[in-house]
Amino acid sequence: MKILRKGGEFIDGQIRSHGKKVLWGFGGCVVVCAVFFFISQGLAGLIGMVVVFRLFGATYDEWEHWYLGMRGELAVTKALQFLPDEYVLLNDLMLPTAHGNIDHFLIGPNGLFVINRG
């Protein structure tokens, strides 16, 4: 199989963007915990820490979603590499609206195939 477009730019951008949010969220957790630990006591401090940790967890989950998606895209490309040279693979085709992409577009003697995660 021939790979005409390796791709990965879209998902790499998403991983970097969400990774930055995770780092900022972690820093926020440290600051909030330090402030509430040294300054505030009681229920207000506990509620503040719970809220910050929940926000951090949601941000981390979003980053993990994109990271696992990238690993899945690499696994699909690896699985398709054993097709004969009559097949051509294009990865990470950007849509004209710039709101997403097609993960894999496979062209072969028996048809055109779009492989995209949901």
Grade residue 40 by pLDDT with cuts at 50, 70 and 90. Answer: low
User: Which residue range forms the structural domain that includes residue 33?
Assistant: 2-115
**Number of structural domains the chain divides into:** 1
Model confidence, pTM:
0.72
Segment of 10-14, 38-42, 81-85 carrying the highest mean pLDDT: 81-85
Residue 43 vs residue 68, higher pLDDT: 68
Kindly report each contact of residues 50-59 with a partner whose C-beta sits within 8 Å and lies 24 or more positions away, as own/partner: 52/28, 53/29, 55/25, 55/28, 56/22, 56/25, 56/26, 56/28, 56/29, 59/18, 59/21, 59/22, 59/25
